Structure 1
Amino acid sequence: MTPPVDPSLNRRKLRITLRQARERAGLTQREAAERVEWSQSKLIRVETGTVSVSVSDLRALMELYRITDSSMVAELEEAARGSKGPSWWSRFHDVLTPQFAQYLGYESAAASLHTYHPIVVPGHLQTDSYAAALLAPRGLDADRAERVVELRMTRQSRMFDATDRLTAAFVLDEAAVRRQIGGRAVMEEQLQQLLDFGARTDVAIRVLPFEAGAHYSTLGSFVLLGFTDDDDLLYLEHAAGSMTGGEDLELLARYQECFETITDLALGEAESLDLIGRIKHDLGAV
């Protein structure tokens, strides 16, 4: 069943549309807030998508910005009604950092995702058994570890089972598909899941072979999110996590170039799936 539209996506639609409408009207945030008798901080929260928008507040802004097209008005009012309530990841607040929660908001709205991981299979593609085995050395209590696995599986389901699925491209280092996390049986299941995902038209999986040598991102994994209505975003995966968008175009461009480079260095999709299949076969033959 297709998951319902998350409130965060409605807030995102409103923030982008209303910000663009304000800019077309030639108004600053302060000027717009004064015209509708709001505090500037309230308008800022609307334009950053951190709060829901009531239909009455929306109508005040649409009047100010001269949004009169009936279909657009109806679309925005529907978004306002759907902007209330917690996002899907809110129930996992006990195992989420604020930085990763913010990232999930962007990921949920992305049209494309490109990621490289040098060590293990990324969470987007993990089986629950693989995810649990990966968490085991961290010494988490059983309940917390189970919650983290549930978060990953929920995220995966929402990402790949939605009607408006994003297109995803993964480059996995050869080490990631050879490292036996959880033992042979767990790894066989994980490799089969990679083969299943790789057979989809909206997912591309490539393996960067050991022979590829050094490249820009040998120090860590990263994710590039693409949007049809906003600037692209870079997420660097480390303990704290960090995001970069329009505020550091040079770094964003460097990682976009990096992904193109490692994609060129990687095996083709068919060759990559053949390699994963051979590794899986060898595990079962032992």
Structure 2
Amino acid sequence: MTDRTDPSLNRRKLRLALRRAREHAELSQREAAERVEWSQSKLIRVETGTVGVSVSDLRALLGLYGVDDPEKVKALEQAARGSKGPSWWSGYHDVITPQFAQYLGYEGAADSLHTYHPIVVPGHLQTRGYAEALLRPRDLEESRFHRVVDLRMERQQRMFDGSGRPACVFVLDEAAVRRQIGGAGVFRQQLDHLLDVGSRPEVSVRVLPFDAGAHYSTLGSFVLLGFPDDDDLLYLEHVAGSMTGGEDLRLLARYQECFRAITDMALDESRSADLISRARHDLGVH
């Protein structure tokens, strides 16, 4: 990502450290909140990374949990100071849901991203022309329309053009690389972009061919985020969007297995690039 010091990343660092410290102290959320004279809902918001933490509130919790290592306390105090303020997507608050905003915070901290799309090219990989053509049928107000596209482009720039980029595996159904969104010219540029991004060392673009047959996720797209210090997270992409992690390990495991199966069924990177190139050639635009 372009900026790894986004407030959401500091909130996540605090969320993990404080939750683990509380569990190590063998205190429930209710017990901890009562001991520091907080509402339980405030502690929950801190432990989910929804809000930042003041240094004074942090010190109260660390004292309660018996965390007194100077280096650790210093690092967490620095994170607390950086946990305030808006995240990069806050300027788009009028066009994103709270659920998706929370997801973006997780995405910014992930060190791996695995996703499958059965119908269209995912937003991470869309060109501006493709995104505009895809959104046109939604009949959005003009100002809102452009802000949604701008959000999509900035998110993509932060993912691929900065330091700390996650390792990404994108599996696209062949339908996504055959459906001409925006006409031949726009779609050719989109296919060129897929080939370009797929050539980067940290990105794998795979195509699931039509003859692969049925599989578990033929009805929808999903994203799996991986973290070196936390449970993986599953984001199911639909109108409302939904996330699950450690609270539903069975569903998470099902989609992890699904992605492994889809990846096994998909073409490798080289043959996927060949298929995308053939789809581009079939457009008849040179």
Q: TM-score range by the shorter chain?
A: over 0.9
Residue 233, structure 1, aligned to residue 233, structure 2:
yes
Contact 2:174–2:209 (8 Å) recurs in 1: yes
Residue 25, structure 1, aligned to residue 25, structure 2:
yes
Mean CA deviation greater in 41-50 or 271-280? 41-50
Q: Distance in 1 between matches of 2:172 and 2:125?
A: 11
Q: Distance in 2 between matches of 1:102 and 1:236?
A: 13
Aligned to 1:144: 144
Q: Distance in 2 between matches of 1:35 and 1:222?
A: 40
Aligned to 1:62: 62
Residue 44, structure 1, aligned to residue 44, structure 2:
yes
Partner of 1:94, secondary structure, is: coil
Aligned to 1:170: 170
Q: Distance in 1 between matches of 2:4 and 2:12?
A: 15
Alignment of 1:192-207 (within 5 A): 192-207=192-207
Mean CA deviation greater in 210-219 or 34-43? 34-43
Q: Deviations over 1:213-238 (max 9, x none)?
A: 11111111111111222221211111
Aligned to 2:84: 84
Q: Distance in 2 between matches of 1:248 and 1:27?
A: 22
Mean CA deviation greater in 205-214 or 2-11? 2-11
Partner of 2:116, secondary structure, is: strand
Q: Distance in 2 between matches of 1:9 and 1:74?
A: 17
Q: Distance in 1 between matches of 2:197 and 2:67?
A: 43
Partner of 2:207, secondary structure, is: strand
Q: Distance in 2 between matches of 1:256 and 1:188?
A: 32
Contact 2:114–2:169 (8 Å) recurs in 1: yes
The alignment's C-alpha RMSD in Å is 1.7
Contact 1:206–1:269 (8 Å) recurs in 2: yes
Q: Distance in 1 between matches of 2:30 and 2:263?
A: 46
Aligned to 2:135: 135
Structure 2 residue ranges without an equivalent (≥5): none
Mean CA deviation greater in 135-144 or 65-74? 65-74
Q: Shift of residue 172 of structure 1?
A: 0.4
Q: Shift of residue 284 of structure 1?
A: 4.7
Residue 9, structure 1, aligned to residue 9, structure 2:
yes
Q: Which amino acid aligns with 2:28?
A: T
Q: Deviations over 1:4-58 (max 9, x none)?
A: 5211111111011011011112222233233333333332222122221111221
Aligned to 1:160: 160
Aligned to 2:74: 74
Percent identical across equivalent pairs?
Answer: 74
Q: Deviations over 1:191-232 (max 9, x none)?
A: 111111111111111001111111111111111111222221
Q: Which amino acid aligns with 2:76?
A: L
Q: Shift of residue 89 of structure 1?
A: 1.4
Partner of 1:95, secondary structure, is: coil
Partner of 2:93, secondary structure, is: helix
Contact 2:118–2:220 (8 Å) recurs in 1: yes
Aligned to 2:117: 117
Q: Which amino acid aligns with 1:206?
A: R
Q: Shift of residue 285 of structure 1?
A: 4.3
TM-score, scaled to structure 2 = 0.94
In structure 2, the CA distance between the partners of 1:239 and 1:42, relative to structure 1 (3 Å rule), is closer
How many corresponding residue pairs?
286
Contact 2:245–2:252 (8 Å) recurs in 1: yes
Structure 1 residue ranges without an equivalent (≥5): none
Mean CA deviation greater in 236-245 or 146-155? 236-245
TM-score, scaled to structure 1 = 0.94
Q: Deviations over 1:157-214 (max 9, x none)?
A: 1122231111110100111011111111111111111111111111111001111111
Q: Deviations over 1:122-176 (max 9, x none)?
A: 0000011110010111111221110110010111111222311111101001110
Contact 1:188–1:284 (8 Å) recurs in 2: no
Contact 2:188–2:285 (8 Å) recurs in 1: no
